[in-house]
């Protein structure tokens, strides 16, 4: 919520630098989660996850509002319905694909390792997927 409300205020002033910064914050949170789980193990997982997931929420909050407004900005009013439906469908497909790939890799690794190792592998995969 904090990232989303802040992002809406910063977007008119800083433009596309806001979602780029949000993406960087999200990638940093994934990196920190993976490193912490890899080095500290599961016994330190809760404080690390609370911190890094909060950081990820801020990053996503900076990205997501602009992902809805930016593609719709140049659409002619008579095509707004079609564009909105296409945007919504694309976002849902991307979310489902991400959950499937990251979740599938997590459970594939979980079959052979402990939960902290599986979570670490899933974070590395998510970080790799988020990188250009």
Structure tokens at 75: 């659409």
Positions of E strands within the chain: none
Per-residue pLDDT tens over the stretch 87-129: 889 889 988 988 888 777 777 776 666 777 777 777 777 777 6
Q: How far apart are CA 86 and CA 44, in angstroms?
A: 42
Is the pLDDT at 73 greater than 60, yes or no?
Answer: yes
Q: Which of 67, 84, 91 is nearest to 3 (CA)?
A: 67
- pLDDT surpassing 60 at residue 132: no
Contact 98, 30 (CB under 8 A): no
Token pair listed for 120: 């670490």
Q: Which two tokens stand for residue 107?
A: 């459970």
Helix 80-110, helix 115-130: angle, nearest 10: 140
Q: Distance between CA atoms of 31 and 89, rounded to whole angstroms?
A: 29
Helix (H, G, I), strand (E, B) or coil at 56: helix
- Predicted local confidence at residue 15, as pLDDT: 86
pTM check: above 0.75? no
Is residue 34 within 8 Å of residue 123, measured between CB atoms?
Answer: yes
């Amino acid at each position: 919520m904090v990232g989303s409300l802040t992002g809406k205020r910063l977007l008119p002033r800083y433009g596309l630098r806001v979602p780029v910064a949000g993406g960087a914050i999200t990638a940093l949170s994934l990196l920190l989660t993976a490193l912490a789980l890899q080095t500290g193990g599961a016994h330190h997982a809760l404080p690390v996850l609370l911190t890094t997931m909060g950081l990820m929420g801020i990053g996503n909050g900076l990205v997501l509002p602009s992902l809805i407004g930016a593609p719709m900005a140049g659409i002619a009013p008579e095509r707004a319905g079609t564009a909105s439906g296409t945007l919504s469908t694309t976002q849902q497909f991307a979310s489902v694909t991400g959950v499937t790939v990251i979740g599938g890799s997590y459970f594939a690794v979980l079959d052979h390792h402990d939960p902290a190792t599986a979570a670490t592998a899933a974070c590395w995969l998510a970080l790799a997927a988020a990188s250009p």
